[in-house]
Structure 1
Amino acid sequence: MDDLDLIRERAETVGFASPEHLTPARERLLAAARGERRRRPGRLFWAAGASIGLAAAITGVVALAPAEQVGIGAGVAHADPVKVLTEAASAALKEPAKPPRPDQFLYVRTEEPEHHVREVWFSVDGTRDSLIGGFKEGGCRNGKAPMYGTNDPRKEGMLEDCAPRSVYRTDLPTTADAMLAYLEAQAGDRKGDVNSMGKDVYHLAYEQVLPPASYAALFEAAARVPGLTALDHVTDAAGRPGVGITWPVSPGSSPKATPVVLVFDAKTYQFLGTPETAVTVKTFVDEVGQRP
């Protein structure tokens, strides 16, 4: 295989960048060429290493554009899933611990494609009535909660047995080992289903709040799960760019099963959501209907 064959093979593998991306890449290419050339009396030639260096420079030119623009698919990524999740854990630990008051509400605003917005107000201690996407949910007081939005009007407001659930999860582990064991225990008969574990991680980071140490443990535990991949140039449902961590679908799953993709900010490593649902606001407020 000669130099041109090698270059041609590299170009066919990764595709071509758009013209606006070529200028800086061309400068790198020329610099690589100047650095690799050697002179012999009477003629200019390329050393064997120069072909490899030039091919690498060519790769830099053709792979400069985002994956979705050069036609090689979002699966070609430079980010490492372990590094991304480890950095997400470190970022979580830097967040100040601000426990809410029991009488407050967790307000979460999420956005889905085409700007569909969902808002929820969850009672922090679970004893007050919550509002979830326009539907009222009864708070659990003295082991009883009123029923709302039932199909049978006669049952509206009737009491049913309950146990209060807090959306501020102080009951979760604060170490990676313990969190991984917790996630595996939650799997039950789904044990070994990596995609299912990804959904559990997502739900903990979605419309609940964890203390910083538990958030860090969650992402550190996720980093230990085998088979994860990182996707560059991913956007969440609100259109915010980031890096995606994909949880593979287990063998034997339904053909309709799709992998869970968690999106993190590529600079701050803050959890943003997924390509289907983006968390745009998450904070505590004093009453239902209040917005920050």
Structure 2
Amino acid sequence: MDELTLLRDWDADRTGPSEAARATARARLDAAMADEIGPVALRGVASRESTSRHGSLSRRLVFRTAFAGLAAAAVGVAVVVADGEGDGDGGRENENPRLRLSAVEVLRRAADRTRSLGSDLPVPRNDQYFYTRTRIMRTPVKGGKTRTWTDESWMSVDGSKPSRRQEHGKVHHDPPLGKHEVRWPPTVYSKLQKMPTDPDELLDRLRFGQEASAKADMHAFFEGCMLMMGPRVMPPGLQAAAFEALSKLERIRIDRDAVDVAGRSAVGVSYPKADWTFLFDPRTYDYLGLRTKGSVPKKVGKDEWVQTGWYWETRTLQEIQVVDRIGRHD
């Protein structure tokens, strides 16, 4: 089992991950944060779990973003080449003037594109399902055979029915959500409708109310990726608001020369050390998907894990529909 599977099974798992898995995830997140913002600023990480404002979400957020930092969950073959550790403007200029845009401009144009396209999907009823078909490609960092999957999933709109979810070709039969179960980001449409579509308010939500800082912004970028990743129909305005909210993060940067899983050229937007990259069409600014760097956790002792088999993974959402039952996709 890799971190992506662990991550996606987290919400459906009633008992949650083992303490060893939690410890490993937190240790990697701590190391990444220490490298990114320094050991002094990191002292505040542990306090999040006791912050009354966040309640039960804090532990879930720390765990999930830790695995996000480990890597895996959203989109990459083409081995996207990052432009060093530069700022949002990237460093290198390209002959194509569109690729000289800053990360801020790319996200803002993606937000405008989302608004102009709108959605031809109906507002889902609670008794329906979100159908998604996702193309996944995984390439070892050090070279080797590339693996591909086309996953199909049917997720209950309000969580009251069993769902069928596919990850890397493996089918998972998820039970209905419990009455007191908390998911973040939400998958239930009615809860997504309650999320703010004002970019400033949404950014505050993605930061979980923390003041702006490198640590809070990194977490906000993770949460923005998670919001965009799941098999869900976005309410009007939410996707555009997410791109605009993330455009306000000071350290976002351009990843150039990207290619998505369908072989199309793409321009990426990432955050330093985050291992997640949004991919956009460099001409239309359509959102194409996500790219991540991942690894496979291996247990080497009673409470000790190491990360092996590093890879790049890209995911492209090929189709999404609102359907009446599992098995339908039209």
TM-score band w.r.t. shorter chain: 0.5 to 0.7
Q: CA deviation at 1:166?
A: 4.4
Distance 1:193 1:140, change over 3 A: closer
User: Given the alignment of the two structures, is residue 167 of structure 1 paired with residue 185 of structure 2, yes or no?
Assistant: no
User: Given the alignment of the two structures, is residue 87 of structure 1 paired with residue 125 of structure 2, yes or no?
Assistant: no
Q: CA deviation at 1:199?
A: 2.1
- Show the counterpart of 1:287: 325
Distance 1:270 1:167, change over 3 A: farther
Matches within 5 A, 1:108-127: 108-113=132-137, 114-127=147-160
Q: CA deviation at 1:191?
A: 7.3
User: Given the alignment of the two structures, is residue 212 of structure 1 paired with residue 236 of structure 2, yes or no?
Assistant: yes
Are the aligned partners of 2:259 and 2:266 in contact in 1 as well (CA < 8 Å)?
A: yes
Distance 1:289 1:86, change over 3 A: same
Q: 1:266 aligns with which of 261, 282, 287?
A: 282
Q: CA deviation at 1:192?
A: 2.0
Distance 1:199 1:109, change over 3 A: farther
Distance 1:242 1:186, change over 3 A: farther
For 2:229, give the aligned amino acid: Y
Q: CA RMSD in A?
A: 2.6
SS of residue matched to 1:192: helix
Distance 1:89 1:236 in 2: 19
Q: CA deviation at 1:284?
A: 1.5
User: Given the alignment of the two structures, is residue 223 of structure 1 paired with residue 239 of structure 2, yes or no?
Assistant: no
Flag the structure with higher helix content: 1
- Show the counterpart of 1:28: none
Distance 1:229 1:132, change over 3 A: same
- Show the counterpart of 2:269: 245
Q: CA deviation at 1:185?
A: 0.7
Distance 1:135 1:267, change over 3 A: same
Distance 2:210 2:173 in 1: 29
Q: TM-score, normalised by structure 2?
A: 0.53
Distance 1:196 1:166, change over 3 A: closer
1:83-126 deviation digits (Å, cap 9, x = unpaired): 11111111222213731121111112222213212221110011
For 1:223, give the aligned amino acid: S
Q: Which has the higher contact order (CA 8 A, sep 6+)?
A: 2
Q: TM-score, normalised by structure 1?
A: 0.59
For 2:320, give the aligned amino acid: K
Distance 2:260 2:188 in 1: 24
- Show the counterpart of 1:21: none
Q: CA deviation at 1:228?
A: 1.0
Distance 1:187 1:260 in 2: 21
Distance 2:135 2:219 in 1: 23
Are the aligned partners of 2:203 and 2:220 in contact in 1 as well (CA < 8 Å)?
A: no
SS of residue matched to 2:159: coil
Runs of 4+ in 1 over 6 A off after TM superposition: none
- Show the counterpart of 1:196: 219
Q: 1:106 aligns with which of 130, 145, 162?
A: 130
Matches within 5 A, 1:110-149: 110-113=134-137, 114-133=147-166, 134-140=171-177, 143=179
Report the structure number with the largest CA radius of gyration: 1
Distance 1:272 1:193, change over 3 A: same
Q: CA deviation at 1:271?
A: 1.6
Distance 2:101 2:255 in 1: 7
Q: CA deviation at 1:236?
A: 2.1
Distance 1:259 1:193, change over 3 A: farther
Distance 1:246 1:226, change over 3 A: same
Are the aligned partners of 2:207 and 2:216 in contact in 1 as well (CA < 8 Å)?
A: no
- Show the counterpart of 2:61: none
Distance 2:258 2:162 in 1: 37
For 2:131, give the aligned amino acid: Y
Q: CA deviation at 1:218?
A: 0.7
Q: 2:204 aligns with which of 181, 184, 188?
A: 181
Distance 1:195 1:109, change over 3 A: farther
Distance 1:111 1:225, change over 3 A: same
